[in-house]
Copies of this chain bind each other. A is one copy, B any other.
Amino acid sequence: MNQKTQSCQQKLRISRDALEVIQGKWRMPIVLALTFGNKRFGELQRDIVDISPKMLSQELKALEENKIITRTLYDSMPVTVEYSLTPLGKSMKKLLDEVLIWGEHFRKEVIGK
């Protein structure tokens, strides 16, 4: 096994670790939505059009466990909950930007203009 193959396999391992955390239909969209500012549960549900409360709740929990977002409960009346990005979550901004850039590129090339 030469140097090149090693670095290929190493990168493949890293990519698979990362993908395990950010994969799925909703996680990147949720983080993306939060790059526009802290949001409450209902706001996220309105922004991310097709998501069900169950999926939103479930994915928010997973993102919190992976230290990507923070859940803050306010004892206002009625109770409100605010979700925000941690530094680790904010560090996904560049990655998300590239997803968007590539997404635009893809749309032009394949979906056709």
For the residues of A in contact with B, the DSSP-based class is: helix
> Which B-chain residue is minimally distant from A17 (CB atoms)?
B103
Give the oligomeric copy count. 2
> Interface residue count for A (Cβ, 8 Å)?
48
CA A106 to CA B98, docked complex, whole Å: 17
Contact A23/B23 with A4-B36, A49-B9, A88-B109 known, Cβ cut-off 8 Å: yes
Instruction: Please determine whether B107 and A14 come into contact, CB atoms closer than 8 angstroms.
Output: yes
CA A49 to CA B109, docked complex, whole Å: 31
For A48, the chain B residues whose CB sits under 8 A away are 12
* Residue from A7, A12, A88, A107 with most neighbouring chain B CB atoms (10 Å): A12
A-B CB contact pairs (8 Å), 11 listed: A7-B36, A8-B32, A9-B49, A12-B49, A14-B103, A15-B96, A17-B107, A22-B102, A92-B102, A94-B98, A94-B102
